[in-house]
Amino acid sequence: MKHILRNKLKYYTKEIFKYFNIAIIGLGFVIAIILIKYKPIYKVEMSGEEVGYIENKQAFEEKIVEEVKQENPYIDTVDLKENPEYELKLVSRTLETNEEEVASKIEENAVITYKYYEIALNDEAIEKVDNIENAKEVVNEIKENNSEENLNLTISEKYTQNEEEVNLTDIEVAKNDIQTKVTEIKEQEEEQARIDAMPDVNGIKLATAPISGTITSRYGARSSIRKSTHTGLDIAAKTGTPIKVVADGVVESASYSGSYGNLVKISHSNGVETWYAHTSKMYVKKGETVKAGDVIAAVGSTGNSTGPHLHFEIRINGEHVNPQKYLYK
């Protein structure tokens, strides 16, 4: 009895395997037929809208990132405001993918972050370069070329999503631009030091002497050609020698004035005035604004004068003072 049951079990097992193999073979034929007519592909949607079909999701996304980065070497990251949705589907083999179009749609949705390195001098941004090595090279060379200066040069890593901000310069251009700025600051400091050292008349800095020449009559001197002591300083020079205004101011008057001859008066505020007398020519008019060093007249011998010279006066609140307290020391 057991022998009969064992034989029947073997028989049914063989039959099951036979039909199973037939099913497997049949399924294989079905799959083969399907794969002949159809192919697996990814449908891509954004905001619920179909944008196209691609073959390989991972390779496609990597390709998008690489293509975007190749467009600009200063791109740091590429993120999407909205991730596309992928659905694996079996579609007709005649259906063509449109990966370029899909990529274009996705790139429109990309948020691109750019990275660059900003070089600042005294906290003022001067130049932008593409990498930290170039930034360090620029800073080190500038410091080496200006070793006597205590330069506050800094490098900052910057990020932006505005491509227009990433206006980078060539390393040699950056060096030249920063050196130019260093020189400019140095000149400004020297000019400020010069201004600080200028003589001060009641808060007004005298930037320059009006002319160079020989002093022929000092303040307070007495002379047969004057009724009172000398109220200014006489400096002899050739006729036509340019006369410079000693400080910024406004022309109070420029006209013939008796014994002074052609006289230019400049008001400098704080009650300070300077007078320039005996001039042969006057180049300014009443009400004009002048800057220190501007040529306002020419040396002459008009009025009560025995030869070409400049009579120079400084007055504070209407009272004349000795010019040699401030100039021609």
Strand order in the sheet with 85-92: 49-54, 38-46, 85-92
Distance CA 5, CA 10 (A): 9
**Which H helix or E strand runs over 30?**
helix 2-37
Confidence at 35, pLDDT banded by 50, 70, 90: low
Q: pLDDT value at position 15?
A: 53
Q: Where in the chain is the domain with CATH 2.70.70.10?
A: 204-325
Please compute, for residue 292, the number of CA atoms within 13 A of its CA located in the half-sphere on the CB side.
12
Q: Which residue has the higher pLDDT, 148 or 275?
A: 275
Of these ranges, 88-92, 168-172, 198-202, the one predicted with the greatest mean pLDDT is 198-202
Find where tokens 């007078």 sit.
275
Distance CA 163, CA 128 (A): 13
Of these ranges, 13-27, 50-64, 87-101, 231-245, the one predicted with the greatest mean pLDDT is 231-245
Distance CA 78, CA 133 (A): 24
Residue 21 pLDDT more than 80? no
Mean pLDDT, residues 210-222 taken together: 92
Q: pLDDT value at position 23?
A: 57
Q: What is the pLDDT of residues 293-317, one digit of tens each?
A: 999 999 999 999 989 999 999 999 9
Confidence at 29, pLDDT banded by 50, 70, 90: low
Mean pLDDT over all residues of the chain?
85
Q: What is the CA radius of gyration of the chain?
A: 45
Amino acid residing at 157: E
Contact (CB, 8 A) for 249 and 267:
yes
Mean pLDDT, residues 131-149 taken together: 90
Residue 18 pLDDT more than 60? no
Confidence at 234, pLDDT banded by 50, 70, 90: very high
Stated pTM of the model: 0.56
Residue 188 pLDDT more than 70? yes
**Which H helix or E strand runs over 179?**
helix 171-196
Q: At what angle do helices 57-71 and 99-108 cross, to 10 degrees?
A: 60
Kindly report the CATH class assigned to 204-325.
Answer: mainly beta
